Amino acid sequence: MIAVGFIGLGVMGGPMAANLVRAGYDVVGYNRSRSKVDDLVAAGGKAASSVAEAVRGADVIVTMLPDSPDVRTVVLGENGVLANASDGALLVDCSTIRPDVSRDVADAASGNGIRALDAPVSGGEQGAIDGTLSIMVGGPADAFDAAKPVLDVLGGTVVHVGPSGAGQTVKAANQLIVAGTIELVAESLVFLKAHGVDTEAAIRVLAGGLAGNRILDRKAAAMTSREFTPGFRVELHHKDLGIVTSAAREAGVVIPLGAAVAELMAALNARGDGALDHGALLKLVELLSGRA
């Protein structure tokens, strides 16, 4: 059996690790909160009490962490992944972080005899549960080929998009599109309600035309019923849009609509709604429209 060390068993990482267990991999998991580790054990995985214990002897190491500083600490830290992984191990970072940090991690990993890929995912909690995530992968082609069987368990669309950091760049574009679409759906829902239109009927017909998109399919009903239990939290999308705006500035690219959505997401987060689903942009549109 291929041994997998999995670090970060939260909303996304937990079901991803469980899917690897079901696919026959020998999965050892670590998470800062013990309850998430216990969930993996209940699913047939094994528990680790530290990063070092999770990665020691692993053929493949998967990390799913909140932000760039977390990846630096867990991977590059004194008691981290690189200090404890076996020579020749494969590191697959599924976190969403800055592209430059992914490149730094890949360089450091290479210096330690470890192959590294940045492999951020899209598809939300349900995609993680169903194993249908879209996974955009940056790094050496041979490392991608080696990781492909593992990634195919986690995702329905797995694509090598370029060298180290390219996966994170594509994920930044993904987050830009998703945030912009959610904002437009939120504005449309408030607009429809203000005119007394049957919103449920409107969503059905809009979804069947050129305006159709996955946000309408997956989130519009919950937004209409004001159900904001997180599939993906506002605070995380706020972080991701910071990555987008920073990377765009570095490249000299203008993203006027993206910058506006980033400000709206920042405002929603600052209002104390960071723990809600990003569909809660609806609340901000309502507030700005005097309809809160």
Residue 193: active-site member: no
- Locate 187 and state its tokens: 């504005």
- SS3 category, 8: coil
Nearest CA among 149, 172, 144, 174 for reference residue 159:
144
- Candidates 36, 171, 239, 283; catalytic one: 171
C-alpha dist (Å) from residue 207 to 1, 113, 277: 44, 49, 21
Calculate the alpha carbon distances from 173 to 93, 120, 188 in Å. 18, 12, 23
The helix (run of H) or strand (run of E) holding residue 63 is strand 60-63
For 190, the 3-state DSSP assignment is helix
Q: Are 27 and 40 contacting, i.e. CB atoms less than 8 angstroms apart?
A: yes
Q: Two tokens at 134?
A: 């879209």
Q: How do 133-138 and 121-122 pair as beta strands? A: antiparallel
For 65-125, the DSSP string reads -SSHHHHIIIIISTTSHHHHSPTT-EEEE-S---HHHHHHHHHHHHHTT-EEEE--EESHH
Residue 215 burial (C-beta neighbours within 10 Å; 0-12, 13-18, 19+):
buried
Task: State the catalytic residues.
Answer: 171
